[in-house]
Amino acid sequence: MAADEQQIPSVWTRPRRQRERPELSRGQIVSEAVRLLDAEGIEALSMRRLGTRLGAGATSLYRHVANKDELIELVVDEVYGELEVPDAGDPAGWRAAVGHSAYSLRSMALRHPWVASVLGQVGLVHLGPNVMRLSDRMLALFRTAGFAPDETDQAMNTLIAYVIGMATSEAAYLSLIARSGKDEQDFVESLRPAAEQAMQDHPQLREGQAAQRGKDPQRIREDNFDYGLQRVLDGLEARLDSTNG
């Protein structure tokens, strides 16, 4: 590549400034950005808004972060640092270890519901140190299980796609409840009369609704997530058996 050829813009592909203003660090900027995102969502994030929260002008932020896209790369990598991925050990324990990683990813996505909407949309998020470290650990789980080297990435991405898809829907549902001012149980009960009326001509929906009546809605969400997760793991295990058997 020619020396003057434009690189793909990313916080991970440009040299970091050697000198930072001591009163404001990149770490402080990222931590405050995560708090802003958690409180108000991705639409509220701007360099000006963040500078105000930090008591600094947007110009001060640009000394550490070139633009909003770079900031998003940094906050995504920051929250990925919360994930728990067990060490790859006994091959027989791969399924439990991968399941633990999936639950950790779901929990992170529910704590930070904005994260799913920005994954893969800006820059080179996958080059962040936390994302790379945890991806490598998860790949090691699939490799220890016996997946071929050229298939470990596909297995991992299948699992992550399921978790992020479920967590995105779940986070949107929980955000709706939060805006209503009700707790989850009260929210579900307030919808029940309208739901039952709408289901009068749909017997399968009525039967499913009746089966869930009286159950803790949080437990229902957890059971639904675990059901899908176990079926994904069943498929991966069957694939492993067919290739190694």
Report the percentage of the chain scoring pLDDT > 70. Answer: 92
Which pLDDT band holds residue 1 (cuts at 50, 70, 90)?
very low
Q: What would the pLDDT profile of 163-204 be if each residue is shown by its tens digit?
A: 999 999 999 999 899 889 999 999 999 988 998 899 999 999
Among left, alpha and beta (phi > 0; psi -120 to 50; other), residue 135 is alpha
Which has the closest alpha carbon to 142: 82, 107, 103, 93? 93
Among left, alpha and beta (phi > 0; psi -120 to 50; other), residue 181 is left
Indicate whether 19 pLDDT > 80. no
Instruction: Give me the CATH code for the 91-244 domain, please.
Output: 1.10.357.10
SS3 42: helix
Indicate whether 240 pLDDT > 50. yes
Ordered alpha helix ranges (H), the chain: 26-40, 47-54, 58-62, 68-80, 94-111, 115-118, 129-145, 149-180, 184-198, 203-212, 217-244
Which has the closest alpha carbon to 71: 114, 29, 116? 29
pLDDT at site 121? 72
The tokens describing 213, both together, are: 């009546």
pLDDT at site 63? 86
Q: What would the pLDDT profile of 60-118 be if each residue is shown by its tens digit?
A: 888 889 889 899 999 999 999 999 999 988 899 999 999 999 999 999 999 999 998 88
pTM of the model: 0.87
| CA dihedral sign of residues 224, 229, 235, 237 | negative
Average pLDDT of span 122-129: 80
Higher-confidence residue of 3 and 180: namely 180
Q: Where are the domains of the chain?
A: 91-244
